[in-house]
Structure 1
Amino acid sequence: MRDFLKQPLNILEYQKGLKLEKIKPFNLIYSEEDYLLSVFVEKLSELAPVRILWGSELDLQSFLSLLGESGLFTKSQRELILVKEGEQLLKKLKDPKLIRSLANRMKTKAVFIVLKDKLDKSALQKEPYKTLLELGDFLEAKKLDKRKVREMVKNKVEKAGKKIEEKALDYLLEIAGDDLLFLRGEVEKLILYAEREITLEDVKKVCITQKESDLFEFLDAFFSKDLEKSLLSLSSLFRVGIHPLVILSTLVNYTLRLLTVKKSQGKTEDILSELGVKHPFAIHSHKRYLSNFTEQDLERLLERLYWLDISIKTFFNQPEKTITNMVIDYLAKVETEAPLEEVE
């Protein structure tokens, strides 16, 4: 047992040649890297249907009922269950006797419990971890070093029958930072875009930076009136170093654009095109934003942003706190006041 704890299985090695009959009833995954976890889920889905659950949303009885379910048409149908926020589930699933009983009765199910907090050896030797490790495997999805990431990108491009310039690869890795899920999406876009070789110019033309991606995520959440997601995205922007005044100016530009469309006569798509919004997805997003706000909402927002700018530049109010408070106050009010409108 001690030797096993010293050497958790690398998740990439574990999934090589993995067969359904080799998967144990309960397994733990310590994950530092969401990308590796997503690759693992894809691999599992090749073997059997995968159900993804969140420990914070599961009560013990629901989990037990889930493990007792059989396939719709056959009792022999296998299903794999991956539980994120596994620490929350294990606060409820603590009884080692219950865990052993479940493992003995689970003929068509196997569970992977994902942990975000790294546990030391003494913690893993306590219940319920001790019993879980005796019954199953302990996998580890650690962050990849830069050399390995570089190698993975080149291999993916080459498997698609293409090449990538070294300077293009350098720039791509720089803008992606540590977010491998973001990197994966950008590589897939480049493979579709480039003919034979991905150049530096291709990367600059096709890819956005991670910071830009985070900013778009915040704008989408804000104009979708999703307060919780707006605050999470805003906090992320502050952490990665986006200047508060950049966020403020982008909010002003978006608000002006939406207000211009509201005040204009004519087809929404044509007006947006004149304002530089031409991509179908961007048009769809803007039409959705327009349906969430009245003209009066947008006028009040523009005025609010104007005074916010003055308070930061003239009265030296703390910018992060000031913008955060505005988002909370404005979205809380507009959520209760603004009706949805049809946008043609």
Structure 2
Amino acid sequence: MKLASLNHGRDGQLVVVSRDLKTAAHVHDIAPTLQFALDNWDQVAADLEHIYRNLNDGLVTDSFSFNPAFCASPLPRAYQWADGSAYVNHVELVRKARGAEMPESFWSDPLMYQGMSDGFLAPNEDISVADESWGIDFEGEIAVVTNDVPMGTRTEEVHGHIKLLMLVNDVSLRNLIPGELGKGFGFFQSKPASSFSPVAVTPDELGESWHDYKLHQRLNVHLNGELFGNPHAGTDMTFNFAELVQHIAKSRHIAAGTIIGSGTVSNKDRSSGSCCIAERRMLEILEHGEAQTPFMKFGDTVRIEMLDDNNDSIFGAIEQKVVRYEHKYLEEDLNHHRPH
């Protein structure tokens, strides 16, 4: 089953989307929002699935053309957005480039931070940033959405708790990160609003591509219309999503509608490229002694998409442009801190 949220109020309006992403159907009489559906999944899932089957068979008389331009994030806001770093070779590479040893525990204990979740960017919404010097970067990732998960849930108990999968652009402001991490208290200003794919997909819809709690397809990332990377999301994923769920649930209950990210998809085989600029810059530093690829500038675009074995889009595409954010007092503050 494929679900999306049209732009409508703060929490969107839930629609069911056909497998080919061409048509959709309103389901407000079943579930007005995706959060409502997740809160009441056992009661509404069968009815939503019935609409989905009929939509694919052309039996929904009031269906309409699906246009991602009218979509909000599947969850326009969420009770929790926890992003991991499941591709540890990516972490190892970034640390190696700056001459830092990676603790051995990183291979056995996931890294994770709690990101901004009170409002996500729509999949085609501009990325507004006040200053290019902050080091604007994209991060192509996979995410899952859970139902209620009890504290203490183990990996062998996760089956059934993962209800949906999405793609992610975890926007990062790289030049703000060192100062924040140097304080020893984690990310905040360096992690603005993320964006997610137009469509969220149930695991059964992915067939053989979803197994071992990993999504076994390539993630395609284009920068300004040129392929930047297409690493295989199921390869080199040190911690699968069941392990990430277990990590979060160690000391807390997880509420329905929680989004859990994989971190930047990355392969040890560098021929498949990268899903973020920072990784490419690190490789350039290791090879040439200095970074050559600049971070994003105003006007740059990024596109993140995953295709199935038939080269059809699974989730629709995240496609965004970076634009300057202008605010009187923020601009005064920036001018004050810029060198003269």
Which band: TM-score by shorter chain? under 0.3
Give the TM-score of the pair, scaled to structure 2: 0.22
User: If you compute each CA radius of gyration, which structure gives the higher value, 1 or 2?
Assistant: 1
Larger helix proportion of the pair: 1
| Bigger fraction of residues in strand | 2
* Alignment TM-score, normalising by the size of structure 1: 0.21
